[in-house]
Amino acid sequence: MNDRHRLPHSFAPLFLPHILLFLAIASMTRLGLALYAGVDKVPVSLWPGLFVRGLGFDLAVLAWLLAPMLIWAAIWPERWRNTFLQGGLRLAVFFMLAALLLFVALSEWTFWEEFETRFNFIAVDYLVYTHEVIGNIVESYPVASLLTGVAVVAVVVTWLFRQSIRNAARPRPQSGWRLSYAILAFALPWSAWHLADVDQMQYSSNAYANELSGNGLMTFVSAFRRNELDYPRFYKTLPQAQAQKILDGLGVERMPVSAAFDEDERFDPLRVPFKRPPRNVVLISVESLSAKFLGSFGNPAGLTPRLDALAKDGLLFTRMYATGTRTVRGLEALSLGTPPIPGQAIVRRPGNEHLATIGEILRRQGYETLFLYGGYGYFDNMNAYFAGNDYRVIDRTMFPKASVGFENVWGVADEFLFDNSLAELDKTHAAGKPFLAHIMTTSNHRPYTYPDGRIDIPSPGKRAGAVKYTDYAIGRFIDQARGKPWFDETLFVVVADHCASVAGNTSLPVSGYHIPLIFYAPALLKPGRDELMASQIDIPPTLLDVMGLPGDDHFFGKSVFEQGPEDRRAFISNYQELGYLKDGKLVVLGPKQRVDIFLVDGYGGATPTRLVPRLRDEAVAYYQTAFKSFKDGKLKASTIRGSR
């Protein structure tokens, strides 16, 4: 009996080995990640739901993967069917598919190890910034061994199933069957598109289970598509007049920059704990510096002796919260003072030039404003953003080669970043100009490498070593600055860009956003502690307030010294969910107009509680208006008197 008489009556046996391969790897990946997370994070009672739902997502992705195979079946010439070429090609395709799926599974494992989520916007970014990311991976993992392992496993799987692959039923050559294959090639993805949605992952109150139920390829594509989320379309809204009335009642004046700039702002020593206003500000945003790393917050490991000393001799804010999970979110908040809007940070978006950043405002008042970064500033669009907002940008490409004693793929070691920063500040002071210098560190980042001999943890020292080295570098910088003529007139601000991890049992675990903030100016500032809640977006107006300069009323944030205890709140977010923390409760705004509210305990844990309309409306008013202000150009600084 020839092959034509053994042809199938359905398409399924055509690619049965490929289907089984995909489902097996996807399921094993899910199982492996669930076991790695542990039953304390993902109770066994949730496993049936996450695996059943996960199978549904896997089938949706499979529908897309089968489409090109079905097109091949529809157009493959009849004379090439049942030939040795076709058998060899089947084996080659199966091997490449196996290698690709195994590589994706390995990538998901390393991504989960770092972020405890399926692929998201960060993974999308990793495709864009290949130099840093590939370099980071090469320096952090035994890449050659891992890729060799992937290839070997793919060969073994292909060898074990070689007969099934070679002898799988050939596609029918008749025109009717070709048409059927072509129709299925479009019908399957179309059905998956309309039946499966990544939002369906949010099926439980356990964030780990929700993430595990997904499929990495699906979440990756979804993150790519949702680069920017339209707030009015996806989120709870209010009439804009009502939203503005709520903000007015909260003291968020959002004064046009021209009016705010004309305000007669005066330094008030009765309100701020400064003896006199600082002439200069050095703002150090530290990569991934969670509050939990500091001895000042109870860490017994002794990783931050220099920061703890600064906290003791300066003003420590004990309840400061980061707005997001990426460096760009921290930079956005620390420069622009606006709540995070859904999707990418404003730093990464078009139309982000000449905004009313603190740098732009101070530049108009005769300040030299600098952004100094130890890495390549094209990463995350940092150079373009800061240069477009009147900062003078200096990154690693501008450091003299002789000044750099150590570097890795992410940037020069922090001590050499600070050395180059000191040189720039000396030049600025010599020119007779006051300055705002925003310095962004890189050393507290995988691969956690740094110069030997600085601390008692050899490099690479994992997270603990990186934190301790960064602490050393900051302390060394302050020591060197003490001998400068501008030291006594300068306020040093040390704050994290975000935490090292935001994983937890809820989508926005409050403790994962808790960061340190230290104001240090021994000649100007009384030591103390601020125990009230504050947000990163409050830092720009606070700096203008303590400097006695106008412009602070333009921000969504508000000087902490102008807020009463009842006014304190914080904003925390990931790329899709927007949190508003106030009065011991967390309001979470999500896509599809979802609003959840949680009661937050003293340890950052959260339990669902009844809706509080007042807090819901405040959250909506802030986030809705922030989104609209950026879209409508109302964050622009074009109305500043004397602007170019």
Q: Is the torsion defined by CA of 238, 574, 591, 207 positive or negative? A: negative
pLDDT at residue 192 tops 60: yes
Residue 10's pLDDT is 46
For range 29-52, the mean pLDDT: 93
pLDDT at residue 1 tops 60: no
For the stretch 546-558, pLDDT in tens is: 999 988 888 999 9
Residue 454's pLDDT is 97
Most confident range, picked from 162-166, 174-178, 350-354, 404-408: 404-408
For the stretch 135-172, pLDDT in tens is: 767 787 788 898 899 999 999 999 988 887 776 656 55
Confidence bin at 264 (pLDDT 50/70/90): low
For range 336-354, the mean pLDDT: 92
Confidence bin at 123 (pLDDT 50/70/90): confident
For the stretch 285-317, pLDDT in tens is: 999 999 999 999 999 999 999 999 999 999 999
Tell how many helices (H) and how many strands (E) occur in the chain.
21, 15
Classify residue 517 by burial, with Cβ atoms within 10 Å: 0-12, 13-18, 19+: buried
Residue 605's pLDDT is 77
Amino acid letter for position 540:
P
Average pLDDT of the chain to the nearest whole number: 89
Say if CB 122 and CB 115 are below 8 A apart. Answer: yes
Residue 332's pLDDT is 97
Confidence bin at 457 (pLDDT 50/70/90): very high
Residue 260's pLDDT is 52
Say if CB 87 and CB 158 are below 8 A apart. Answer: no
More confident residue, 265 or 305: 305
pLDDT at residue 7 tops 50: no
Domains parsed from the chain with CATH numbers: 3-225 (no CATH), 234-631 (3.40.720.10)
Confidence bin at 197 (pLDDT 50/70/90): confident
Give the separation between CA 289 and CA 455, rounded to whole angstroms: 18
Say if CB 516 and CB 498 are below 8 A apart. Answer: no
Residue 85's pLDDT is 60
For the stretch 592-624, pLDDT in tens is: 789 999 999 876 678 999 999 999 999 999 999
For the stretch 400-453, pLDDT in tens is: 999 999 999 999 999 999 999 999 999 999 999 999 999 999 999 989 999 999
Give the separation between CA 274 and CA 266, rounded to whole angstroms: 13
Residue 506's pLDDT is 74
Most confident range, picked from 73-82, 171-180, 316-325, 633-642: 316-325
pLDDT at residue 231 tops 50: yes
Give the separation between CA 255 and CA 263, rounded to whole angstroms: 10
**Cα angle at 33 between 30 and 36, to 5 degrees?**
150
Q: Which two tokens stand for residue 432?
A: 């007779």
Residue 6's pLDDT is 43
Say if CB 585 and CB 573 are below 8 A apart. Answer: no
Residue 4's pLDDT is 42
Range of weakest confidence among 183-192, 256-265, 332-341, 536-545: 256-265
Which is nearest to 605 in space by CA: 487, 488, 500, 514?
514
- What order of strands is seen across the sheet that includes strand 606-608? 570-573, 578-582, 585-590, 594-600, 606-608
For range 52-60, the mean pLDDT: 95
% of the chain beyond a pLDDT of 70? 89
Give the separation between CA 360 and CA 377, rounded to whole angstroms: 19
Phi first, then psi: give them for residue 482, nearest 5 degrees. -60, -30
CA distances from 29 to 58, 109, 158, 215 (A): 11, 8, 19, 9
For range 40-44, the mean pLDDT: 91
Residue 159's pLDDT is 92
**Cα angle at 445 between 440 and 447, to 5 degrees?**
140
End-to-end distance of the chain based on CA atoms, in angstroms?
84
Range of weakest confidence among 54-68, 113-127, 584-598: 113-127
Give the separation between CA 635 and CA 352, rounded to whole angstroms: 9
